[in-house]
């Protein structure tokens, strides 16, 4: 299992930044290789992803969610992975977003992507595209879910 950690600073307040991240179905707009995310209920998601020529579908459960602080998840099927996104308000009114993921790649293509750093660069790129996405919206999120999951 590999651990990937990436951080970016977003020039929007922590509440708007967090609210946008709760809009899972918008992920394909800024996450490379994420073809579709369907939110089944408050804590269950169905993902369709692509890595090179490989495509996968899996279900995931939000295991912890605290507004303006953290969202954690684990896969229920498909490629084994878990992670969390944390949000920290910055003194200048922006937000530090940190992604920490544990991934157990499946198959040759995914293992090569992991060993060569492609998966790490993908996560870093996704955070950069998220930053652009929310900043280009001038901090106006597409929606929000402020529920708490413990």
Best CA proximity match to 142, nearest among 30, 42, 47? 30
User: Residue 106 burial by CB count (10 A; 0-12/13-18/19+): exposed, middle or buried?
Assistant: middle
Q: Is residue 147 in some structural domain?
A: no
| Average pLDDT of the chain to the nearest whole number | 91
Give the whole-angstrom CA distance, residue 18 versus residue 14. Answer: 6
Give the whole-angstrom CA distance, residue 58 versus residue 17. Answer: 26
Q: Is residue 104 in some structural domain?
A: yes
Q: What is the largest CA-CA distance in the chain?
A: 44
Supply the pLDDT for residue 53.
80
CATH number, residue 78: 3.30.530.20
pLDDT digits (tens, 9 = 90+) for 17-60: 999 999 999 999 999 989 999 999 999 999 998 877 878 899 99
Q: Which residue has the higher pLDDT, 64 or 121?
A: 64
Q: Is residue 14 in some structural domain?
A: yes
Question: Domains in the chain: how many in total?
Answer: 1
Instruction: Provide the residue range defining the domain that includes 39.
Output: 2-136
Q: Which residue has the higher pLDDT, 118 or 13?
A: 13
The answer to whether 83 and 102 have CB atoms below 8 angstroms apart is yes
Q: Is residue 127 in some structural domain?
A: yes
Best CA proximity match to 15, nearest among 129, 141, 100? 141
Q: Which residue has the higher pLDDT, 104 or 114?
A: 104
Q: Is residue 109 in some structural domain?
A: yes
The answer to whether 99 and 27 have CB atoms below 8 angstroms apart is no
Sign for the pseudo-dihedral over CA of 85, 61, 47, 28: negative
Q: Is residue 141 in some structural domain?
A: no
Q: Is residue 148 in some structural domain?
A: no
Q: Is residue 143 in some structural domain?
A: no
- Helices 118-136 and 107-115 meet at what angle, rounded to 10? 80
CA 68 vs. chain centroid, Å, equals 15
Give the whole-angstrom CA distance, residue 85 versus residue 80. Answer: 17
């Amino acid at each position: 299992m590999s651990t990937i950690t990436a951080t970016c600073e977003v020039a929007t307040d922590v509440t708007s930044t967090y609210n946008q991240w709760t809009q899972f179905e918008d992920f394909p707009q800024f996450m490379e290789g994420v073809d579709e995310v369907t939110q089944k209920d408050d804590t269950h998601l169905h993902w369709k992803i692509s890595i090179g020529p490989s495509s996968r579908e899996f279900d995931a459960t939000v295991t912890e969610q605290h507004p303006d602080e953290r969202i954690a998840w684990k896969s229920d099927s498909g490629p084994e992975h878990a992670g969390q996104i944390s949000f920290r308000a910055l003194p200048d009114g922006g937000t530090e977003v940190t992604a920490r993921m544990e991934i157990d790649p499946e198959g040759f293509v995914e293992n090569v992507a992991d060993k060569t750093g492609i998966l790490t660069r993908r996560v870093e790129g996704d955070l950069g595209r998220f930053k652009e996405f929310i900043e280009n919206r001038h901090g106006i999120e597409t929606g929000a879910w402020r529920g708490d999951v413990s």
